[in-house]
Amino acid sequence: MFGCVPFIFQNGRPSVEVVIVSDAKAGGELIAEAMAELLRHKPDALLGVATGSTPLPIYQALAAKVDSGAVDASRARVAQLDEYVGLPAEHPESYRSVLRREVLEPLGLDVDAFIGPDGTAEDVRAACEAYDKALAEAGGVDLQLLGIGTDGHIGFNEPCSSLASRTRIKTLTEQTRVDNARFFEGDIEQVPHHVITQGIGTILEARHLVLLATGEGKADAVAATVEGPIAAVCPASALQLHPHATVVVDEAAASKLKLADYFRHTYANKPDWQGI
Ligand code: PGA
């Protein structure tokens, strides 16, 4: 029905690969295995990590692989995607703290393995430039995990961010502050207005982009990302510009995809050796 498999895999990969999984746990396992496989080939890989609720099953699955000896992550390096401006690094909801709790400690890594922007710098612009430089000096991100906002943001690149943007300060939309208030005792007043985020151009420099989206609340954003035009109004649609971008979604987040059956067919017929 869809033509021969070699045609689907012309140039080695489809542009944005969509993998529909049964639930968040299966998505976490799939992505953690891709990270483990990367670490088996490149033990000091630079892993770009994201915050939010969605990636937690990935971190849990990867930590389980480390605990069972299925992969050695002791030389892995970790890079931050974004950070609140003005929250002290030791604040429990600064992304530096969150990533220490959710990624570094479970993987047995210490803070030397970690790079991130300084959200408390007096000169925010210089801090942003310094972070882009640090990423480049670290050899670039090998695999960048991404969540997606209900408004289509990646990192904290809110709608109408330049698709060529570099790490910089951004103002959060009201929607994102409402979405994130749950991390601040439900009190939107405590959610900072400003953030430092890797730009879309910065994110696109990672060698492999892996976006995980789960739940019906993400279905519109996922459909716009994958099947809509490349447009700054949906920042995640920039993934269409990347030669190796993978979007992993559960059934609920896939529910508005017109090509869902095609994506299922493509993945079901994919050679095992190719991975995601
Ligand atoms: P969430 O956040 O995983 O908590 O939904 C995603 C994001 O805002 O990028």
- Distance (angstroms) between ligand 1 centre and the Cα of 274 equals 28
CB burial readout 157-178, b (16+ within 10 A) else e: bbeebebebbbbbbebbeebbe
**Quick one: pLDDT at residue 112?**
94
pLDDT of residue 89: 87
- 31 CA from centroid of ligand 1 (Å): 16
Pocket-testing residue among 53, 82, 170, 191, ligand 1, by greatest number of atoms within 8 A of Cβ: 53
Q: What is the pLDDT of residue 5?
A: 37
> Which residues are paired to 171 by β-bridges?
194
Which domain covers residue 189, as residue numbers? Answer: 14-145+153-210+223-265
What pLDDT shows up at residue 272? 83
In a domain, 73, yes or no: yes
- What tokens does 220 get? 């519109």
Rounded to whole angstroms, how far apart are CA atoms 46 and 198? 15
Classify residue 202: in a domain, yes or no: yes
User: Is 47 part of any domain?
Assistant: yes
Domain annotation covers residue 217? no
Ligand 1: distance of its center to the CA of 149 in Å?
5
Tell me if 275 is assigned to some domain.
no
Residue 90 structure tokens: 């030791």
pLDDT in tens, the chain (276 residues): 333 333 334 345 557 999 999 999 999 999 999 999 999 999 999 999 999 999 999 999 999 999 999 999 999 999 999 999 999 989 999 999 999 999 999 999 999 999 999 999 999 999 999 999 999 999 999 999 999 999 999 999 999 999 999 999 999 999 999 999 999 999 999 999 999 999 999 999 999 999 999 999 999 999 999 999 999 999 999 999 999 999 999 999 999 999 999 999 999 999 888 889
- pLDDT on residue 137: 98
- What is the CATH number for 57? 3.40.50.1360
- pLDDT for residue 13: 54
Our count of domains for the chain comes to 1
The Cα angle at residue 122 between residues 119 and 123, in degrees rounded to 5: 95
What pLDDT sits at residue 275? 87
For the CA of 217, the closest atom of ligand 1 is: 5
4 domain residue, yes or no: no
Return the active site residues.
Answer: 82, 151, 153, 158
Length of the chain: 276
* Ligand 1 nearest-atom number relative to CA 55: 3
Report if residue 71 sits inside a domain. yes
Q: Strand, coil or helix: what is 15?
A: coil
Whose Cα sits closest to atom 1 in ligand 1?
A: 52
Tell which atom from ligand 1 comes closest to the C-alpha of 153: 9
Return the pLDDT at 274.
85
pTM: 0.94
Q: Whose CA is nearest to atom 8 of ligand 1?
A: 149
Q: Do 91 and 60 touch, CB atoms closer than 8 A?
A: no
Residues lining ligand 1, CB < 6 A?
A: 52-54, 147-149
Is 133 inside a domain boundary? yes
